[in-house]
Amino acid sequence: MCGIIGYIGENKAKPILINGLLRLEYRGYDSAGIATIEKDEIKTIKNKGRVKNLNDIEEINSLKGTIGIGHTRWATHGKPSSINSHPHADNTNCFSVVHNGIIENYSDLKEFLKSRKYKFLSETDTEVIPNLIHFNYQNSDETGDTKFLKAVVDTCKMLKGSYALEVISSAHPNNMIVVRKDSPLVIGKGLNENYISSDIPAILSFTKDFYILNDLEFAYISRNNIEFYNEDLEKIHKDFQNITLDTSSTEKDGYPDFMLKEINEQSKSVRETIGSRISSSSKTIISDLNINKKFLKTINKIYIIACGTAMHAGLTAKPIFESLCEIPVEVEPASEFRYRNPIITQNTLCLFISQSGETADTIAALKLAKSKNSKTIAISNVVGSSITREADYTVYTHAGPEIAVASTKAYTSQIVLLAIIAIYFAEILDKNSTKINELKNDILLLPSNIEEVLKDTEKIKAFAKRIYKEKDIFFIGRGIDYTVAVEGSLKLKEISYIHSEAYPSGELKHGPIALIENDVTVVSILTNRLLLEKSISNIQEVVTRGAKTFIVTNQELNDDFDEVINIPKTNYLISPVLSVIPLQLLAYYISKEKGLDVDKPRNLAKSVTVE
């Protein structure tokens, strides 16, 4: 993962780099560092922990360079420490590099360099890169700027794995070289200045004109020029894109945390997802999906592939597609899918869900599906992100930037969008029109129903106070409610560090019930009238064994439970959009009670760009 920032221009680089790093911290916060060129010498300052720790180092204010690179790290190779922080320099401090990704053949490269007397200070895979650049530079017959460029290109030819790189050199103090392979990198074009970043929002306050780099495109950047080259050192032409996004949506707007802001934004984000795609009186329109009946009729299996919360949205979508389109659906984590030999034919449709659009496993799984001739659809929240460039079709969730590491509004928007896509397919296939009309009406009511759920959060807050010291919490549900249990359990683990398990209610008695004892909390979701009695029986089984119960339901309950959160009635297939909200809030308030950093939980990152 890791966040990369760069600046080359007429202003001091340091404040711009720090500003960008703060915005990229969601990609990792184990350590941070910057390097600038000061009077033809590279100066590097780095520190363990958050960007704030880096900015607190007094010496950082002495950096006056107008060219610089910065990095915020999510540790892969080498523990979080100052020495393992980026930027990394070669032995002569002539080249400095920041890197996002993993160099898979770094041990071989290290041995190669060691045998040529290069020394290593860190435990990282990255440190081989500046030293290889130095090696290639020393052994090059080229002169001038091409010598620098060729050394970087030759180095990349030796690397296996994924990387987004920024390279500066004291021998070329007016230039920076950047390149990417399977890790994101964008260049923002300014007036007599240029910006580099892992994502667009981090530099959107400086420029709106962006070059999106493709794999193995090298950019040779000065303050007023950007040249692009391919691996053969041939110049290539690239057009920039003008990107407009509302940057105010990346601020907290008076909320104590981004997560609480994003939970509360769900009525708006779901409204944006719906947009004008569905209406009760006409057929569904998804302008970016140009799929016809002839093709859809050939589809006999749908795969939904994603990671983390996005995969949980896929689990929820499975019954929606199966019930409306009558096509079997398989949902699989991208990290599993990519390393087996899934049965994919041209009659298989593959949907890939990724909020960031940059999750390494999801991108690799998408490439695999394409290589097997499947049609691919990307569902993403980030315009121009990697999966959107790989897939045959892209449909955006339009949920607005999601900053908190734990996903909330992206998840609900993903479910809504998947439901809309299922409706769109079913309409094309002329299937289940009555069901569809009812579902559409309930989708259109979702924004106001979400507002209803968010109106009263006091009971959830009070219950969080009661249970925040617990060690294990269970989540149960049947059918679609089970898919919400899984997401509720993940939210809790992610931000409160409480161990939790989600189980289909009926499976509890096959093992986990052995763990239920006096005062253990069991969270249960009940939205299916047809399964109500069965589910209540399962809850009674844990109550009998002493469990405390927290129930989220839209059904009338006759029995007494410790806490019951009532949510509005809606079509069962989209009930997760409402029932997950009390679970998001429960996790949030528990984390707050424990005094934890809700937005940046330990060991996690928002965008997992390494496998």
Catalytic residues: 2, 606
| β-strand pairing of 186-189 with 209-212 | antiparallel
Choose which of 96, 264, 354, 386 interacts with ligand G6P (CB under 6 A): 354
Q: Does residue 307 interact with ligand G6P by CB under 6 A?
A: yes
42, 310, 331, 464: which one contacts ligand G6P (CB under 6 A)?
310
Can you tell me which of 355, 394, 413, 575 binds ligand G6P, judged by CB under 6 A? 355
Residue 105: CB partners within 8 Å, gap ≥ 6? 159, 160, 161
Q: Which stretch binds ligand G6P (CB under 6 A): 46-54, 241-249, 251-259, 601-609?
A: 601-609
Nearest distance in Å: CB 455, ligand G6P = 26
How far apart are the C-alpha atoms of 68 and 37, rounded to whole Å? 7
Q: Is 269 in the site for ligand G6P (CB under 6 A)?
A: no
- Between 213 and 307, CB nearer to ligand G6P: 307
Rule CB under 6 A: is residue 607 a binding residue for ligand G6P? yes
Given the rule CB under 6 A, which of 146-154, 242-250, 349-357, 530-538 is the region that contacts ligand G6P? 349-357
- Residue 356 binding ligand G6P, by CB under 6 A: yes
Cis geometry, peptide bond prior to residue 87 (ω within 30 degrees of 0) = yes
Residue 259 contacts ligand G6P per CB under 6 A: no
Closest separation between CB of residue 411 and ligand G6P, Å? Answer: 8
Of residues 388 and 570, the one with the C-beta less far from ligand G6P: 388
Stretch that binds ligand G6P, among 10-18, 38-46, 69-77, 348-356 (CB under 6 A): 348-356
By CB under 6 A, is residue 405 in contact with ligand G6P?
Answer: yes
Residues 361-380 that bind ligand G6P (CB under 6 A): 362
Give least dist CB 494 to ligand G6P, A: 7
Segment contacting ligand G6P by CB under 6 A, of 180-188, 217-225, 287-295, 308-316:
308-316
Distance CA 67, CA 81 (A): 25
* Distance (Å) of CA 219 to CA 188, 327, 438: 12, 45, 52
**Which residues lie across from 3 on neighbouring strands?**
72
Residue 418 in tokens: 């998947």
Q: Please list, in sequence order, all residues whose beta carbon lies within 8 angstroms of the beta carbon of residue 391, skipping any fewer than 6 positions away.
A: 352, 366, 376, 377, 378
Tell me the window of 168-176, 240-248, 305-313, 459-467 that interacts with ligand G6P (CB under 6 A). 305-313
Q: Is 306 exposed, middle or buried (0-12, 13-18, 19+ CB in 10 A)?
A: buried
Single out the residue of 545, 529, 546, 535 nearest to residue 507, CA to CA. Answer: 535
Shortest separation between residue 118's beta carbon and ligand G6P, angstroms: 35
Kindly determine how many residues on this chain lie close enough to bind ligand G6P according to the rule CB under 6 A.
16
Beta-bridge partner residues of 194 = 8, 189
> Please, where are the H alpha helices in 326-408?
334-337, 360-371, 386-390
Of 269, 540, 284, 586, residue with least CA distance to 419 = 284
Q: Please enumerate, as own/partner, the contacts of 552-558 that have beta carbons within 8 Å and a separation of 24 or more.
A: 552/523, 552/524, 552/525, 552/526, 552/527, 552/579, 552/582, 552/583, 553/525, 553/526, 553/527, 554/526, 554/527, 554/578, 554/579, 555/526, 555/527, 555/529, 557/526
- Which lies closer to ligand G6P via its Cβ, residue 74 or residue 95? 74
Q: Given the complex with ligand G6P, which of 354 and 570 has the nearer CB atom? A: 354
For position 305 contacting ligand G6P by CB under 6 A, the verdict is: no
Residues within window 406-425 making contact with ligand G6P, judged by CB under 6 A = 406-407
User: Which residue number has the CB closest to ligand G6P?
Assistant: 308
Question: At closest approach, how far in Å is the CB of 361 from ligand G6P?
Answer: 8
Helix, strand, coil percentages in the chain from 3-state DSSP, rounded to 5: 40, 25, 35
Is 397 one of the binding residues for ligand G6P (CB under 6 A)? no
Residues that bind ligand G6P (CB under 6 A): 307-310, 354-356, 359, 362, 405-407, 604, 606-608
